[in-house]
Amino acid sequence: MRNMPSVLVVEDESAIAELIVVNLRHNGFRPIWAMDSTGAQREIDAAVPDLILLDWMLPGESGLVLAKRWRVHPRTKTVPIIMLTARGDEADRVAGLDAGADDYIAKPFSTKELLARMRAVLRRRAPESLGKPLSVGGLVLDPETYRVSFNDQPLKLGPTEFKLLHFFMGHAERVHSRGQLLDKVWGDHVYIEERTVDVHVKRLREALAQAGAMVETVRGAGYRLTVKPETMPIPSV
Ligand code: CA
C-alpha cells in the first residue's frame, strides 16, 4: 500500500484546473480542487495537504494573500506552495517567493515541468510523501513494500506507528509538536486528542526496540527523531 501525496489545487479557471487534476491523478498524486480562497481554506481546515498549487489571480482573496497567511499559520507553515500564474516578470516572481511560495511556475506550463517542480519541492520539503525508501541512522523504511529495518534486522510496526515513523524519517532532527503530528500523520487534528500521539509514540519506541531511543521527547515542545551514537549504522566490512 502506498500513500499518494495530496495536492490542493487552488485555481478558478475550470479548464486549467481539470487539466492539472487529471494529470496529477495519472502521476500518483491525489488532487483536491478548490475554486477560490473560501473553498481552499475549507479543504485545509478539513485536512492539511502535502502540497499546494496556488493560482495567483483568484476571485476574492488573491493567491499572494493566501500564501502569506498559510505561511505563518502553524498548521500550514511547512506545506510546500507552488504559485501558478500568467505573470512572468521578475518583480512578480519575487513577490510570490517573498510571500512564502517555494516555487513559481508561469502559465502556460507543460505538465512535465509542473510535475518536475512538484517533485523537487516535495523532495526538499516533504520527502516522506514521495514513496521512496528513507534511511536515518541504521533505520530504513520502504513505503512501497511497507518494510522497516534497523541495521538490516526487520522490525514489525502497526499501521499508525509505520506512518508516524515515516513522517519522522522524512523530517529527522526536527521537533514536531503533538498538534503537528496529528495533522501530518492522522490528517485531521479535530477529533483526536493529543494524548493519542503519546500512546503511539510509546508503541513506536517499543516496536523499534534498540532504535527506540532515536525517538526523543523534547520537553514542552514535542518529539524528534534523532541519530544517536548507539543507533548509528554498523559499518559492513
Ligand atoms: Ca486565475
Rounded Cα–Cα distance for residues 196 and 182 (Å): 9
Q: How confident is the model at residue 124 (pLDDT cuts 50, 70, 90)?
A: confident
What are the pLDDT digits (tens) for 56-98?
A: 999 999 999 999 999 998 888 889 999 998 766 777 778 888 8
Task: Report the half-sphere exposure of 32 (CA within 13 A, side-chain side).
Answer: 19
* Mean pLDDT, residues 167-196: 85
Q: How confident is the model at residue 116 (pLDDT cuts 50, 70, 90)?
A: very high
Distance 127 CA to ligand 1 centre (A): 29
Distance 150 CA to ligand 1 centre (A): 48
pLDDT for res 189:
55
H/E stretch holding 169? helix 159-170
Q: Which of 198, 52, 173 is nearest to 185 (CA)?
A: 198
Q: Is residue 74 domain-shared with residue 167, that is, in the same domain?
A: no
Q: Is residue 98 domain-shared with residue 192, that is, in the same domain?
A: no
Q: Is residue 32 domain-shared with residue 116, that is, in the same domain?
A: yes
Distance 36 CA to ligand 1 centre (A): 9
Q: Is 219 contained in some domain?
A: yes
Distance 125 CA to ligand 1 centre (A): 26
Distance 58 CA to ligand 1 centre (A): 5
Q: Is residue 121 domain-shared with residue 141, that is, in the same domain?
A: no
What are the pLDDT digits (tens) for 192-226?
A: 788 999 999 999 999 999 999 999 999 999 999 99
Q: Is residue 113 domain-shared with residue 79, that is, in the same domain?
A: yes
Q: Is residue 119 domain-shared with residue 199, that is, in the same domain?
A: no
Q: Which three cell numbers stand for residue 193?
A: 486528542
Rounded Cα–Cα distance for residues 24 and 45 (Å): 22
Q: Which domain holds residue 194?
A: 134-231
Q: Is residue 144 domain-shared with residue 109, that is, in the same domain?
A: no
Distance 16 CA to ligand 1 centre (A): 9
For residue 103, report the phi and psi dihedrals to the nearest 5 degrees.
Answer: -155, 180
Q: Which three cell numbers stand for residue 168?
A: 519522522
Q: Is residue 149 domain-shared with residue 112, that is, in the same domain?
A: no
CA 100 to chain CA mean position, Å: 16
Q: Is 163 contained in some domain?
A: yes
The environment of the single-atom ion ligand 1, i.e. residues with CB closer than 5 A, is 12, 55, 57
pLDDT for res 100:
86
Distance 100 CA to ligand 1 centre (A): 19
Give the domain-ending residue among 125, 154, 175.
Answer: 125
Q: Is 23 contained in some domain?
A: yes
Q: Is 1 contained in some domain?
A: no
Place of cell 495530496: 6
Q: Is 44 contained in some domain?
A: yes
Give the burial class of 75: count Cβ atoms within 10 A of its Cβ; 0-12 exposed, 13-18 middle, 19 or more buried.
middle
CATH classification at residue 93: 3.40.50.2300
Distance 17 CA to ligand 1 centre (A): 10
- Per the structure, how many domains does the chain have? 2
What are the pLDDT digits (tens) for 132-161?
A: 899 999 999 998 899 999 999 999 999 999
Cα first-last separation, the chain: 34
Distance 81 CA to ligand 1 centre (A): 16
- The torsion angle over the Cα atoms of residues 39, 115, 55 and 93, rounded to 10 degrees, is 150
Q: Is residue 147 domain-shared with residue 117, that is, in the same domain?
A: no
Q: Which three cell numbers stand for residue 12?
A: 478558478
Q: How confident is the model at residue 190 (pLDDT cuts 50, 70, 90)?
A: low
Give the domain-ending residue among 97, 125, 153.
Answer: 125
Q: Is 197 contained in some domain?
A: yes
Q: Is 237 contained in some domain?
A: no
Distance 171 CA to ligand 1 centre (A): 33
What are the pLDDT digits (tens) for 18-59?
A: 999 999 999 999 999 999 999 999 999 888 899 999 999 999
Distance 109 CA to ligand 1 centre (A): 14
